[in-house]
Amino acid sequence: EAGVAQSPRYKIIEKRQSVAFWCNPISGHATLYWYQQILGQGPKLLIQFQNNGVVDDSQLPKDRFSAERLKGVDSTLKIQPAKLEDSAVYLCASSSGGSYNEQFFGPGTRLTVL
Amino acid sequence: RKEVEQDPGPFNVPEGATVAFNCTYSNSASQSFFWYRQDCRKEPKLLMSVYSSGNEDGRFTAQLNRASQYISLLIRDSKLSDSATYLCVVNPSGSSASKIIFGSGTRLSIRP
């Protein structure tokens, strides 16, 4: 079974630039998560989708971050404009159901903002 | 108080030792709990779910103490390959529509 795919794996940008990350979840998984993991910290949930609807985006900095999941499959996360403190690994995860179900993580995108 | 707290470690123990970590949570109504393992520069992977009655998987034992609001992970006969960061995960309400919270992780290093 193919895992969660993410691209790019690495991205270096300058502050105030824009960047977008892509995630393809495991086939058939209805729930998709985007996390931000800063070095030395645990993953912080940014947004959770159930199919193509948003379940929770309370920790998404909506002035600069946006995410969408068209057709309930692939998802993109965008940052515009980026700040230095956005440097982190952005992890995408998917699960087949609710919170009792295992989350499968992609390899992440390591973002460096200079 | 943080919603989910873990001792960051690092725990540095010899191979074959038994090591235990705790994770405390602030919301007494929390319903579901997990331990994930994250290797250096890799993504987290589920180690085990934590059930009310406790559960064991080989050398790993997870316990839930609702009265004191903590979960624990015990690793017996530790191996070099157990070196990783162990993340505690709590779902406050247990529903799919709730915010899942990860702890900051406990770093474990097993030495030969």
Q: What is the CA B58 to chain-centroid distance, rounded?
A: 16
The token pair that represents A29 in the structure block: 């998984």
Residue pairs spanning A and B at CB distance below 8 A = 63
Average pLDDT, chain B: 91
Tens digits of residue pLDDT in A38-84: 998 999 999 999 888 998 898 999 999 999 998 889 999 999 999 99
DSSP line for B7-53: ----EEEETT--EEEEEEES-TT--EEEEEEE-TTS-EEEEEEE-TT
- Shortest CA distance from A6: residue in chain B: B43
In chain A, residues with a C-beta closer than 8 Å to the C-beta of B91 are 99-100
Tens digits of residue pLDDT in A5-22: 999 999 999 999 999 999
Q: Which residues of B touch A (CB under 8 A)?
A: 4, 6, 8, 31-32, 42-46, 49, 87, 91, 93-105
Instruction: Tell me the residues of chain A between 75 and 94 that have a Cβ less than 8 Å away from chain B.
Output: 91
Place of tokens 């969660």: A4
Q: Which amino acid is present at A59?
A: Q
